[in-house]
Amino acid sequence: MPKVLVQFAHPAFSRSRVHRVLLKNCKQLEGVTVNDLYEQYPDLYIDVKREQELLLSHDILVLQHPFYWYSGPAIIKQWLDLVLEYNWAYGPKGYALLGKKMINAITCGSGHHAYTSEGHHQFPVSQFLLPFRQTALLCRMDYMPPFIVYGTHRMQQDAIEEEGLVYADILSGLASGRIRPEHYGGLEIINSLGHGAMS
């Protein structure tokens, strides 16, 4: 069965509404490991060996975090910079992550319309996520459609709980092998598989 590694990063988790629910749900899932980066490395000194071993022992890498300045919180960048080493993750001497999968799981304060050509942010989130997508491709990983929760600023608790159920269903579907590329290939966001996805 594919093993799922959730690399979680939230610098203000005590104030979180959405990731609190997403994380609570996925912590209990079989085949899913949660690695809380700010909890592990509050000073940003990342244990590269530990992180590389975690990657090697999993098949699907989930980068779960709030969308911050059209990207991720600082520790996500620090993790990418340090862990995806030359001649380990890419380069003439090796592609350690070859054939593994990567997916972004993000929450956006703004609604979907803000990420259109008429909206406040002008471009779709998929364009802001291009550095992640291309990082995966450079490491010869498969980049999956992202999980995106839009409009968190105005979200009611019941809608947050619903997103939490969808997220948990998708992660458990991936970890059980029920959700496969033919199910999500071509989707804009993997959320479209919905609650009860492939169960």
Q: How far is the CB of 197 from ligand FMN (least distance, A)?
A: 22
Name the residue among 69, 55, 77 with its Cα closest to residue 9. 77
What is the identity of the amino acid at 39? E
**Quick one: which of 4, 6, 9, 18 contacts ligand FMN (CB under 6 A)?**
18
**Quick one: which of 2, 16, 126, 165 contacts ligand FMN (CB under 6 A)?**
16
Site for ligand FMN in 140-199 (CB under 6 A): 152
Asked if 38 touches ligand FMN (CB under 6 A), the answer is no
Please, are residues 152 and 108 in contact by the beta-carbon 8 Å criterion? yes
**Quick one: which of 67, 88, 90, 132 contacts ligand FMN (CB under 6 A)?**
67
Distant-in-sequence, close-in-space partners of 178: CB < 8 Å, separation ≥ 6: 172, 198, 199
Q: Coil, strand or helix: which one is 101?
A: strand
C-alpha 6/C-alpha 34 separation (Å) is 5
**Quick one: which of 58, 61, 64, 66 contacts ligand FMN (CB under 6 A)?**
66
Asked if 107 touches ligand FMN (CB under 6 A), the answer is yes
Asked if 110 touches ligand FMN (CB under 6 A), the answer is yes
By beta-carbon proximity to ligand FMN, the closer residue of 109 and 124 is 109
Asked if 72 touches ligand FMN (CB under 6 A), the answer is no
CA dihedral 172, 88, 135, 18 (to 10 degrees): 40
C-alpha 148/C-alpha 146 separation (Å) is 6
Please, are residues 148 and 108 in contact by the beta-carbon 8 Å criterion? yes
**Stretch of 1-9, 38-46, 103-111, 172-180 contacting ligand FMN, by CB under 6 A:** 103-111
Residue nearest to ligand FMN (CB): 109
Asked if 104 touches ligand FMN (CB under 6 A), the answer is no
Please, are residues 171 and 32 in contact by the beta-carbon 8 Å criterion? yes
Q: In this structure, what DSSP letter does residue 88 have? A: T
Asked if 108 touches ligand FMN (CB under 6 A), the answer is yes
Using CB under 6 A as the criterion, which residues of the chain lie in contact with ligand FMN when the complex forms?
Answer: 16-19, 66-70, 107-110, 152
